[in-house]
Structure 1
Amino acid sequence: MPRVSQTLEQYWDTYKPSRGDDVPAPSANVFEWTQHSHGPGAEWLGNPATALELGAAECKEAVHLARRGVQVTALDFSTVQINRARTWWEGTPGLHIVHAEACHYLDTTQQRFDAIYSVWGAAWFTDPDLLFPLVRSRLNSGGVFAFAHAEPLEGLYGPEGMYGNGFNGPKLTVLRWSHSPEQWTDLLKRHDFADIDAGILPAPDPDHVGTLMVRAYAPHS
């Protein structure tokens, strides 16, 4: 199985929202890690002065942080998502919107951040053995790396392949990485992260899908 999704941009061009260019901007009044609008908010990142979002899409979490005084770089691979976000949020003080692939950006930028985070974004869809060392290299001493996405199916771990546009039309091969909290912890330890907190936040309805939430820190130098 390939370790990198083959047609990421085409897939993400149609992601949230996908109804056209006249969609109004979403609310940026809250920072939401979960699909159920529950659990922690921006405070889960601590009090960073600088932050990088990997796979920002609508950029509403990045805008929320920028309005709180954080200098935020919001990154996305999709041209459609970036153009839409710039239409909505261009000129927001403290917000810098970047069109780039996560690993390439982390490998080429000279900037360091107090926080790097992903809300159902690139940390789910990028090989952690490629992404994590790059994230670690761009974090300031004591900086936080946090990400969230759907809880995994128990016992079905590793890279999951899916057809990004269903079963009709050209093949859009998309991979996402599914691991248990314990496996994410081991991966982060392997790449020199410390103080790791990984777990499943249950949905308000226990029969619904919960949210896997992971937070780790760059050791203080």
Structure 2
Amino acid sequence: MRKNRDYWNSVAHHWVEMGERQWNSPPNWGFWGETDDSFNLLPTDMTGMKVIELGCGTAYVSAWMSRRGANVTAIDISGAQLATARHLAKKHDVEIALIEASAENVPLDDSLFDFAISEYGAAIWCDPDRWIPEAARLLRPGGTLVFIGNHPMVWVETPPDGSPCEARFHRPYRGLNRADWTHVEFDPGGIEFNRTMEDWLALFRNTGFQILDYRELYAPNDSEGIAFSVPADWARSWPAAQVWKLQKQV
């Protein structure tokens, strides 16, 4: 967590422009910004719902939920990212409770929230064995957890030097757990986490979640270029992201 906090503090200024753009956009998901109409990840009417975003970055997802009527809390481990979020919340006159903390250890009471979401936040930068149980603790019985993160195929087909994905296996799928990108040649980053499908399912089952929906995101047919090390032509054949929608058992 310290390495990821330091990484995100160091690059936060690169994400201000994207944050501003997303604050001014309707909900959209994945590397190619597919509309929420395709996935329905957020309830259309969130009036009165208590929600939390886990690993909010510049908090544009929180802004989308607030505008739908939700009472929003958002956490992030990066103080620099939260500074951007506070600036944009003030600029857009959107009320969000912003807390500097890790999604692996949230300083809030049990069963406070109806809905939790992570969009490339805790979903990839936190250990699932820690943040998934923490999300379950924060949700009320019957509450919903939605998260979107890198598909395991992105990992197994990314070269060791961090260059863009290619249609070739570079690491084993079995035992998928964590990847340290801090010293790769291309676009060094932080430490990311993922799981095999079997391990995700076991984790949800052991944490008291049932699966409501699962989606795999591919690049649209008209997409071009490379988004976050994922080439569009690769992602038309291989899923770039996965979306889980879970419900805490009553």
TM-score by length of 2: 0.73
Structure 2 letter corresponding to 1:37:
G
Q: Does 1:43 align with 2:70?
A: no
Instruction: Encode CA deviations 1:99-157: one digit per residue, 9 max, x unaligned.
Output: 1111221xx31261111111011121222121122111110121111111121125535
SS of residue matched to 1:144: strand
Q: Tell me how far apart the structure 2 counterparts of residues 10 and 165 of structure 1 sit (CA, whole Å).
A: 14
**Which one of the candidate residues 15, 18, 21 is aligned to 1:26?**
21
**Alignment partner of 1:8 is 2:35:** no
SS of residue paired to 1:143: strand
Unpaired segments of 5 or more residues in structure 2? Answer: 157-171, 222-232
TM-score by length of 1: 0.81
Q: 5 Å matches for 1:56-205?
A: 56-90=56-90, 92-105=93-106, 108-110=107-109, 112-153=112-153, 155-156=172-173, 157-164=175-182, 166-167=184-185, 174-205=190-221
Q: Distance in 1 between matches of 2:135 and 2:18?
A: 32
Size of the aligned set, in residue pairs, is 210
How far residue 38 of structure 1 moved from its aligned partner, in angstroms, is: 1.3
Establish whether residue 215 from structure 1 lines up as the match of residue 215 from structure 2.
no
| Alpha carbons 2:3, 2:191 under 8 Å: kept | no
Q: Give, in whole Å, the separation in 2 of the partners of 1:76 and 1:102.
A: 7
Greater per-residue helix proportion: 2
Q: Secondary structure at 2:202's aligned position in 1?
A: helix
Say if 1:147 and 1:214, in contact at 8 Å, map to a contact too. yes
C-alpha offsets along residues 36-86 of structure 1, whole Å, 9 cap, x if unaligned?
A: 111536832335411111111111111111111111111111111111111
Q: Which runs of 5+ in 1 are unaligned?
A: none
Deviation at residue 32 of structure 1 after TM alignment: 2.4
Counterpart Cα distance in 2 of 1:16 and 1:147: 22
User: 1:50, 1:70 within 8 Å by CA — same for their partners in 2?
Assistant: yes
Q: What is the identity percentage for the equivalent residue pairs of Structure 1 and Structure 2?
A: 20
Contact 2:124 2:150 in 1 (8 A): no
Cα separation, partners in 2 of 1:179 and 1:26, compared to 1, 3 Å? same
Distance (Å, rounded) in 1 between the aligned partners of 2:240 and 2:17: 32
- Residue 15 to residue 144, structure 1, CA distance change in 2 (3 Å): farther
Structure ranking higher on relative contact order (CA contacts 8 Å, 6+ apart): 1
